Chains A and B, each alone.
Chain A
Amino acid sequence: MSTIDSAEVLRLAALARIDLSEAEVTRLAGELDVIVQAVATVSEVAGPDVPATSHPIPLSNVFREDVPGATLDREAIMSQAPEALDDKFAVPQILGEEA
């Protein structure tokens, strides 16, 4: 059974700010569906006795000392910006469409 339809792909695309053609939406719906099905299969195997895992490595508390290190060269960074002003990144108008 398909769980990912075109509407779902369009919603995700909108959230991710990705502009998709109709053909891409159809193709991705199929591909994503395969992935979701695969995960569903795993869910079937994992019973309630298997705890959910978010981190596969049994490691915790990896901390850094609070000691300042080197920063990037400002001019090098700004030279990469498509547009800059006063050492700041210039970006298109934000949230212009919102009331």
Chain B
Amino acid sequence: MSVTYEDAITRYDPVLGIEVHVELGTRTKMFDDAPSPAGGTEPEHANQLVTPVSLGLPGALPVVNGTAVEYAIRIGLALNCEIARSCRFARKNYFYPDIPKNFQTSQYDEPIAYEGYLDVELADGTVFRVEIERAHMEEDAGKNTHVGGADGRIHGASHSLVDYNRAGVPLVEIVTKPITGVGDRAPEVARAYVQTLRDIFRALEVSEARMERGNVRADVNVSLRPTPDSPLGTRTETKNVNSFRSIERTVRFEIARQAGILDGGGSVLQETRHFHEDDGSTSPGRVKSDAEDYRYFPEPDLVPVAPSREWVEEIRATLPELPAARRRRLQGEWGYADAEMRDVVNAGAVELIEATVTAGASPAAARKWWMGELARTAKSQDVSLEELPVTPAAIGELQSLVDSGRINDKLARQVLEGVLAGEGSPEEVLTARGLEIVSDDGPLLEVIDATLAAQPDIVAKIKGGNLGPIGAIIGAVMKATRGQADAGRVRELVMERVQD
């Protein structure tokens, strides 16, 4: 039975659960000193960044990366979590070629951080609190490439190729409690939650947090129940959803799909699923079986991690201003209205405007450029503001040309066009295109005199006290000077000439 999302959401109450993995940007891996591909080392070859530990060779002894623990604590604190007084690592046992030891070193019953929350702001300004169950440390797995399948996916592959460069990269996994009470905003909340986390990782400088590089990956759990008072329904877990838009689409799709099953009297199967970018659907992945019996047990090769309270407080004291607080501060400094600030945030223009203001433009002017002309250009080229070939410093320079009266808004747009076309800095474009306002009265008077001479009737009218037709004269002068004249000055000069 096919059901649309809009229909499904009127009859079911969705419950979400989101697990986010973030690759930490430490220079080395979690348990060995191999350079980490998530920490600035770009490998040229597969299996280049490996040691006996990352390959799981017999007898290899792991040692915890202290910086990774510090980053995990930073994340825990930013998510308002308790930091464990003592915690340990555990072995999660399973067989898969991407994990050469046949177990992933993770944390199980004793995560480093637990019981936190994150306030998530939606596009319209509504704030939704997501409760965090835990954040634990673990290591990333290697990367499989499936060869022989039609589309490179697992199914139908004839063999697989494994690269262990990523094996052992430090990860923090953040697990939410069931997210309830979201109703028809479920897709939006899921997206905003992961986006907020991404921004926090960047602010904390614990990860580059680039979604497209897999630095941040989300597993999205969705279940439905008839009403908010009903017990939780059976959930599905869609694995490794790698973009904000995909997270939103996954939730929408699963809500509609599960509603279709429930409407038909069926029951949702608890399973992991995969998201398909092309059509926004999900399909079943690994079937739950006893292969999922991970037989966790404490990792005997690693001693417990017991962060002293002094260390935790030291880290807390050095936490940077977090994105939400920073946005509130900047909004106050810039004097933007709530709606204006939201638009700026949603457009991803906060940093750009901040840098433009630093470059000397007023907050209002900076907003006008980034949310106006530049936003339109970005939209028409289908790129983000950041991707436009113009820097905040250039916009600051452009605005200073306007502020000093050397160009007007209309000319400024032409200068910007030149800057975007790669013709150089605003000053260079202005010079090269000869766009400066003609402020020398000499050449301007020549044009005015010529214009007046060509329009004796109008001159007569103006002399007779009828100032109405003066606009036609000014317009003709502006046209003749290609807009480079200062219209106010033209008016003054015309009046002087006529009255002479």
Contact = CB atoms under 8 A, between A and B. Distances in A.
Interface of A: 11, 14-15, 17, 54-55, 57, 59-72, 74, 77-78, 85-96, 98-99
B88 A94 contact: no
A61 B291 CA distance: 33
Contacts of B160: 90-94
A85 B162 CA distance: 9
8 contacts: A15-B293, A17-B95, A61-B306, A62-B63, A62-B302, A62-B303, A63-B65, A77-B55
Given A72-B52, A74-B45, A78-B47, A11 B284 contact: no
Given A14-B290, A88-B145, A93-B160, A72 B50 contact: yes
A66 B26 contact: yes
Contacts of A60: 86, 303-306
5 tightest A-B contacts by CB? A63-B66, A69-B33, A54-B298, A66-B67, A88-B161
A71 B157 contact: no
Given A69-B28, A92-B159, 7 more contacts: A61-B307, A62-B64, A68-B28, A71-B48, A93-B158, A94-B96, A95-B154
Nearest to B36: A68
A96 B144 CA distance: 14
Nearest to B148: A93
Contacts, number: 136
B287 interface: yes
Contacts of A67: 27-28, 33
A72 B303 CA distance: 26
Contact of A55 (B66, B96, B287, B298): B298
B97 interface: yes
Would you call the interface of chain B mostly helix, strand, loop, or mixed?
Answer: loop
B410 interface: no
A65 B162 contact: no
B69 A63 contact: yes
Contacts of A14: 290
Contacts of B45: 74, 87
A64 B64 contact: yes
Nearest to A66: B67
B163 interface: yes
B213 interface: no
A64 B69 CA distance: 10
A69 to B, nearest CB: 3
B78 interface: no
Given A15-B290, A17-B95, A88 B46 contact: yes
A52 to B, nearest CB: 10
B60 to A, nearest CB: 11
B200 interface: no
Interface string B297-317: 010101111110000000000
B64 A91 contact: no
B64 A93 contact: no
B33 A89 contact: no
Contacts of A95: 154, 286
Contacts of A91: 97, 159-162
Contacts of A96: 157
Contact of B303 (A17, A61, A92): A61
B392 interface: no
A99 B287 contact: yes
A34 to B, nearest CB: 20
A77 B306 CA distance: 36
Interface string B276-300: 0000000010110011010100101
